[in-house]
Amino acid sequence: MTDPIRSGSDPRKAPAARRAVEVFTRAYGMPPRFVVRSPGRVNLIGEHTDYNDGLCLPVAVDLELCLAVAPWPPAPGSAEPGPAEPGSVSPAGRGLRDRRVEVVSEHRGEPAVVRLPPPVPPPPGPPRRAPGAQQGWAGYVEGAVVMTAAAAAAQTGDAAQTGDAAGRGGAADLCGWRGAVASDLPLGAGLSSSAALELAVARACAEVWELGWEPVEAARLAQRAENAWVGAPTGLLDQLACAAAAAGHALLIDFRDLTTSPVPMPDGVVVAIVDTGTRRELVTSAYGERRADCERAAAGLGVRSLRDLDDALPADAAGRLDPVALRRARHVVTENGRVEALADALRRGDLPAAGAVLLAGHESIRDDFDVSGPELDAAVDACRSAPGCHGARMTGGGFAGCVVALVDARHGERFTGAVLRDYRSRTGRPGAVHLCAPVAGTSLLRL
């Protein structure tokens, strides 16, 4: 088996794993015990359907985040940490009582630190930032630790593990660990860098604390970290795609019951991700407005969710909904059909049909859901005219970020050059193209 830490056969995954190990060793003066790899994801089709109990077809890609980890304190007989390099984090002098999770990053000056036992998760409710939650990337690390510790407490019945006042200093003994992150995922591009980080931290906690690892439950846990700790109103798509994907396959997800089914990607095709260089914040009123529009449409049509409408809107929908709710409902209902159509085309290896579905999806998300933008539209147009492209659409929550295309692998370099030239000529912006392969979900590499 190829060693992903030392091999250079993969120009993206291997460097991230190696960099994580190198950052860990510099920071802590000792080698890590294992590396968690957590992929980004791109959604081929099925946009804004997850929170409507609908269908989605994401694929995990080999743009990945890697987290090198060792329990703290080290196991008996392990090398003790030596002096840290200037500007790095030194663990010298930390003892058994200093139980914490600490994560350094190749791109961040300060570590993310979570004391153990961690704070108590907030009670169920609408997405909102938890009181006292850390800001920035540390908040995602903290949220994943908090939710995994709560899961551990639920397994053992030990309330002390969740950090209530009575439990602090009690019997709960969650071992601390140290980690180092390196990532090839562009931040804020809509490729689920936050979900990859949450799942990597949760997987590390599960390994150090000797918990089980089940992808769907891990995805739920990571979503709770994002909703109830960080305050981002996301659905479950990102976390489930990153956790449960199968190598060489897209993942058909039914959000009505969270069943998943791998869909083989045809040979000779690559998933091209075109980064427009534009960025947005997901925690905005626009995302919440779209959810509210969909809820209003479902109520107006007398169904619990838009998924209950199956293949088409009722004939009298226009008379029962305001124009905005009508367009939102039309997108969701037709998008569910496109997910099934794309999955069928991929199984048959019918790439022209698959490309046509992508293009139809972009028109719907642009015209009926109103979450595209000038740069995204320009990138889709650039892809459509590039060599080897079967079809393209914007991907992610919308307004900014990336476009996804299915491209003949033989034309990958020509496609890349043509798209970058055309996109710059249309927008004046530089772009970036990543030619990706479908990979497995979050996993652990022992060193």
Smallest CA-to-CA distance from 260 within 45, 55, 62, 397 is with 55
H or E stretch at 67: strand 55-72
Smallest CA-to-CA distance from 281 within 142, 399, 395, 393 is with 399
Query: Contact 433/415 with Cβ under 8 angstroms?
Result: yes
Active-site annotation holder among 238, 368, 370, 422: 238
Distance (Å, whole) CA 394 – CA 373: 9
Distance (Å, whole) CA 6 – CA 65: 16
Residue entry with tokens 């089709």:
45
Query: Contact 270/230 with Cβ under 8 angstroms?
Result: no
Would you put residue 198 in left (φ > 0), alpha (ψ -120 to 50) or beta? alpha
Distance (Å, whole) CA 295 – CA 271: 33
Q: 238 an active-site residue?
A: yes
Burial code of 90-119, b = ≥16 C-beta within 10 A, e = fewer? ebeebeeeebbbbbbbeeeeebbebbbbbb
Smallest CA-to-CA distance from 47 within 367, 442, 270 is with 367
- Residues labelled as active-site residues: 238
